[in-house]
Amino acid sequence: MPDCAEAVIAGEQGPTVNQGGAALAASYVEKLLTGTCRWMASYFDLGDGMLRCVPAEPKTVAAIAGLHVNAVAPPARHG
Protein backbone atom coordinates (compact mmCIF):
# COMPACT_ATOMS: atom_id res chain seq x y z
CA MET A 1 0.00 0.00 0.00
CA PRO A 2 1.53 3.34 -1.00
CA ASP A 3 2.09 6.07 1.54
CA CYS A 4 0.15 9.33 1.18
CA ALA A 5 2.77 11.11 -0.95
CA GLU A 6 2.99 8.15 -3.34
CA ALA A 7 -0.80 7.94 -3.56
CA VAL A 8 -1.01 11.65 -4.47
CA ILE A 9 1.67 11.24 -7.18
CA ALA A 10 -0.16 8.20 -8.57
CA GLY A 11 -3.44 10.11 -8.62
CA GLU A 12 -5.04 7.69 -6.15
CA GLN A 13 -5.48 10.30 -3.43
CA GLY A 14 -6.19 14.01 -3.58
CA PRO A 15 -3.55 16.34 -2.18
CA THR A 16 -5.90 17.74 0.49
CA VAL A 17 -7.48 14.52 1.78
CA ASN A 18 -5.24 14.39 4.86
CA GLN A 19 -6.21 17.95 5.82
CA GLY A 20 -9.89 17.03 5.38
CA GLY A 21 -9.47 13.96 7.59
CA ALA A 22 -7.56 15.96 10.20
CA ALA A 23 -10.27 18.63 10.33
CA LEU A 24 -12.94 15.97 10.78
CA ALA A 25 -10.91 14.26 13.52
CA ALA A 26 -10.40 17.59 15.31
CA SER A 27 -14.15 18.15 15.22
CA TYR A 28 -14.72 14.73 16.80
CA VAL A 29 -12.27 15.53 19.60
CA GLU A 30 -13.85 18.92 20.23
CA LYS A 31 -17.35 17.43 20.38
CA LEU A 32 -16.24 14.52 22.59
CA LEU A 33 -14.59 16.92 25.04
CA THR A 34 -17.70 19.08 25.25
CA GLY A 35 -20.06 16.11 25.44
CA THR A 36 -21.85 17.08 22.24
CA CYS A 37 -20.69 14.38 19.81
CA ARG A 38 -23.70 12.74 18.19
CA TRP A 39 -21.86 10.80 15.47
CA MET A 40 -20.14 7.44 15.59
CA ALA A 41 -18.63 7.38 12.12
CA SER A 42 -17.98 9.73 9.23
CA TYR A 43 -17.27 9.06 5.58
CA PHE A 44 -16.06 11.73 3.19
CA ASP A 45 -15.14 11.98 -0.46
CA LEU A 46 -13.53 15.28 -1.36
CA GLY A 47 -13.70 14.44 -5.06
CA ASP A 48 -17.48 14.22 -4.93
CA GLY A 49 -17.87 16.83 -2.17
CA MET A 50 -19.64 14.28 0.03
CA LEU A 51 -19.65 14.03 3.83
CA ARG A 52 -21.84 11.50 5.60
CA CYS A 53 -21.93 11.21 9.37
CA VAL A 54 -23.58 8.20 11.00
CA PRO A 55 -25.58 9.21 14.06
CA ALA A 56 -24.74 7.47 17.33
CA GLU A 57 -28.29 6.28 17.96
CA PRO A 58 -29.01 3.21 20.10
CA LYS A 59 -30.61 1.24 17.25
CA THR A 60 -27.68 1.87 14.92
CA VAL A 61 -25.03 1.11 17.56
CA ALA A 62 -26.85 -2.09 18.56
CA ALA A 63 -27.12 -3.27 14.95
CA ILE A 64 -23.41 -2.69 14.27
CA ALA A 65 -22.37 -4.33 17.55
CA GLY A 66 -24.75 -7.26 17.15
CA LEU A 67 -26.52 -6.43 20.40
CA HIS A 68 -30.10 -5.89 21.44
CA VAL A 69 -30.95 -2.20 21.66
CA ASN A 70 -31.59 -2.58 25.42
CA ALA A 71 -27.94 -3.64 25.89
CA VAL A 72 -26.86 -0.32 24.40
CA ALA A 73 -29.46 1.96 25.98
CA PRO A 74 -31.54 0.23 28.65
CA PRO A 75 -35.10 1.50 28.89
CA ALA A 76 -35.74 4.24 31.43
CA ARG A 77 -37.20 3.09 34.71
CA HIS A 78 -40.42 4.70 35.82
CA GLY A 79 -41.07 4.71 39.43
Quote the domain boundaries for residue 11.
4-61
Q: Are 20 and 44 in contact (CB under 8 A)?
A: yes
Q: Residue 79: what pLDDT? A: 62
47 in a structural domain:
yes
Distance of CA 24 to the CA centre of its chain: 8
- Give the number of domains in the chain: 1
Does residue 79 or residue 43 have the better pLDDT?
A: 43
- Among 69, 39, 35, 72, smallest CA distance to 54 is for 39
8 in a structural domain:
yes
68 in a structural domain:
no
**pLDDT tens column, 17-46:** 899 999 999 999 999 999 999 999 999 988
Q: Residue 63: what pLDDT? A: 93
Does residue 3 or residue 35 have the better pLDDT?
A: 35
70 in a structural domain:
no
79 in a structural domain:
no
